[in-house]
């Protein structure tokens, strides 16, 4: 029988999903000055609007992932994308601070669980030896969309009101959800286009315990490497939310960039992250094959965060605006080198509960996302210092490098579940 490659189309769907999530998230940071002007919002109020999304996203991340473990990612991801697309469009109807706050909170509830569901899909559809580069490609799609969004939104805003931009972006998600529900199936063996050869190859190499030995997902919280894995992700998300919320304002107010420069440097961290994502994914797989999974995952994590810390500190203190902009972009991209090993580790440790374990990591990360806009607004309003928030971020990246030194990304680190047969990553 001829081998098929349906799993690659599954990955393509997931990459498109990642792109749509960032398209909808990033556009509000570019449109923030117009929104603040029309609704009469202060910098602190706008920071709460940014964080309202993240708070809801964090609160509903684990429950949504647990729901997917019960009924499957096909149905749950369809609901997620339809919900957040609707509230992307409803953002256009906001006429006051409180209405915008509520809408963005409901937006966050809807989008919660999207990426853990993608991880759950990969745990079923992607063999373990392909997982790092697949995660890298997934994040590359997200960051490419995020990096291109500032320029796209800026061009649209010349001709369209900010409310119209939100409505148009909402329709993109609706189209994705319809195609996903029609085509995708939760298990390779249930998809009519998957050949027996591809089915057997995936199931023999994906590293999942037998279905009857899944155990309670509550055992995820007893995984020994969970805490440092979550802690390093706090810094990553803290930095990411700086890039998609206050970075354009920082470059304009603190660095005096023109609108043309702003369009370039606002998206540069995420554009460079596209290459970092793919590089991190390929490197973690290559090193894992050659030196073992711990070196493959943790080595990339340590190096990525050390480079990020040094570059971000340099961007904070360098006097030249363009040089600082490049250093900030390099620091952001270096931090994204760690995404593929982090999410691959979550899948490695989680097994059949990979949705919940990755959701736990992502929920912890949202603490950084909640704090990032608020801390910057508070520091700038209190001390009048735009450099200090970037130095704080550099310190968080350094702490994350230390976290990777104590992470053990194998299922030997997870608390064994009854009947699991002691499956470890090395036995896949």
Interacting residues of 154 by C-beta distance below 8 A, sequence separation 6+: 30, 259, 263
Cα dist. 237→79, 96, 234 in Å? 24, 28, 5
- In whole angstroms, give the CA distance from residue 126 to residue 8: 9
Q: What pTM was computed for the model?
A: 0.74
H or E segment to which residue 309 belongs:
helix 293-317
DSSP state of 224: T
* pLDDT surpassing 60 at residue 373: yes
Structure tokens at 302: 């340590």
366 against 310, higher pLDDT:
310
* pLDDT surpassing 60 at residue 427: no
- In whole angstroms, give the CA distance from residue 424 to residue 418: 14
Structure tokens at 159: 């001709």
Taking Cα atoms as reference points, which of 412, 396, 384 lies closest to residue 338? 396
Confidence of residue 412 (pLDDT cuts 50, 70, 90): low
Parse the chain into domains and list their residue ranges: 8-189+218-413
* pLDDT surpassing 90 at residue 403: yes
Provide, for the chain, the percentages of residues in helix, strand and coil under a 3-state DSSP scheme, each rounded to the nearest 5.
80, 0, 20
Which stretch of 201-210, 304-313, 400-409 has the lowest confidence by average pLDDT?
Answer: 201-210
- In whole angstroms, give the CA distance from residue 289 to residue 295: 10
Do residues 289 and 130 lie in contact, with contact meaning Cβ atoms separated by under 8 Å? no
Q: What is the pLDDT of residue 416?
A: 41
DSSP state of 261: H
Confidence of residue 218 (pLDDT cuts 50, 70, 90): low
Percent of residues, the chain, with pLDDT higher than 90: 47
Q: What is the pLDDT of residue 418?
A: 36
Q: What is the mean pLDDT of residues 230-240?
A: 95
List pLDDT tens digits, range 45-85: 988 898 898 889 888 988 888 888 889 999 999 999 999 89
* pLDDT surpassing 70 at residue 422: no
Mean pLDDT score of the chain: 86
Query: Which of 161-170, 351-360, 392-401 tops mean pLDDT?
Result: 392-401
How many CB atoms are located within 10 Å of the residue 101 CB? Answer: 18
Cα dist. 234→151, 193, 274, 363 in Å? 28, 40, 20, 9
How many residues does the structure list for the chain? Answer: 428
How does DSSP assign 54-68, residue by residue? HHHHHHTHHHHHHHH
Interacting residues of 175 by C-beta distance below 8 A, sequence separation 6+: none
Confidence of residue 2 (pLDDT cuts 50, 70, 90): low
Confidence of residue 415 (pLDDT cuts 50, 70, 90): very low
Query: Which of 204-208, 238-242, 306-310 tops mean pLDDT?
Result: 306-310
- In whole angstroms, give the CA distance from residue 239 to residue 48: 17
Structure tokens at 140: 């590359």
- In whole angstroms, give the CA distance from residue 264 to residue 242: 16
Class of residue 54 by CB neighbours under 10 A (exposed 0-12, middle 13-18, buried 19+): buried
* pLDDT surpassing 70 at residue 37: yes
List pLDDT tens digits, range 261-296: 887 888 899 889 989 999 998 999 899 889 988 999
- In whole angstroms, give the CA distance from residue 215 to residue 357: 13
Confidence of residue 414 (pLDDT cuts 50, 70, 90): very low
Q: Domain 8-189+218-413: which topology?
A: Growth Hormone; Chain: A; (1.20.1250)
List pLDDT tens digits, range 174-194: 999 999 999 999 999 999 999
Q: What is the mean pLDDT of residues 303-310?
A: 97
């Amino acid at each position: 029988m001829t081998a098929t490659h349906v799993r690659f189309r599954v990955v393509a769907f997931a990459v498109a999903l990642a792109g749509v999530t960032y398209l909808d998230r990033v556009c509000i940071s570019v449109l923030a000055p117009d929104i603040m002007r029309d609704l009469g919002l202060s910098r602190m109020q706008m920071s709460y609007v940014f964080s309202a999304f993240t708070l809801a996203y964090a609160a509903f991340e684990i429950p949504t992932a647990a729901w997917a473990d019960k009924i499957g990612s096909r149905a749950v991801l369809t609901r997620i994308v339809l919900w957040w697309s609707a509230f992307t469009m409803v953002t256009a109807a906001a006429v006051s601070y409180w209405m915008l706050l509520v809408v963005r909170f409901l937006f966050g509830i809807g989008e919660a669980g999207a990426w853990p569901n993608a991880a759950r899909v990969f745990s079923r559809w992607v063999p373990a030896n392909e997982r790092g580069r697949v995660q890298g490609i997934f994040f590359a799609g997200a960051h490419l969309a995020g990096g291109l969004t500032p320029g796209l939104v800026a061009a649209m805003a010349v001709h369209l009101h900010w409310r119209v931009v939100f409505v148009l972006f909402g329709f993109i998600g609706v189209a994705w959800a319809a195609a996903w529900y029609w085509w995708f199936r939760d298990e390779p063996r249930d998809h009519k286009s998957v050949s027996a050869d591809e089915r057997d190859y995936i199931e023999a190499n994906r590293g999942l315990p037998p279905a009857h030995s899944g155990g309670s997902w509550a055992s995820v919280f007893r995984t020994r490497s969970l805490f440092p894995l979550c802690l390093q992700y706090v810094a990553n998300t803290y930095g990411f939310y700086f890039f998609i919320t206050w970075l354009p304002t920082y470059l304009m107010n603190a660095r005096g960039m023109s609108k043309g420069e702003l369009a370039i440097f606002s998206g540069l961290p995420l554009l460079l992250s596209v290459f970092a994502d793919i590089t991190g994914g390929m490197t973690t797989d290559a090193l894992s094959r050659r030196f073992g999974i711990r070196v493959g995952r943790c080595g990339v994590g340590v190096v990525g965060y050390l480079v990020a810390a040094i570059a971000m500190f340099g961007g904070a203190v360098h006097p030249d605006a363009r040089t600082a902009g490049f250093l900030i972009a390099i620091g952001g991209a270096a931090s994204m080198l760690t995404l593929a090993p982090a999410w691959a580790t979550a899948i490695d440790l989680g097994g059949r509960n990979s949705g919940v374990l990755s959701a736990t990591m992502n929920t912890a990360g949202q603490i950084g996302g909640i704090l990032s806009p608020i801390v910057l607004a508070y520091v700038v309003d209190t001390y009048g210092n735009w450099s200090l928030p970037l130095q704080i971020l550099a310190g968080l990246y350094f702490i994350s490098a230390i976290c990777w030194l104590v992470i053990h990304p194998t299922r030997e680190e997870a608390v064994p579940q009854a009947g699991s047969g002691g499956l470890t990553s090395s036995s896949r």
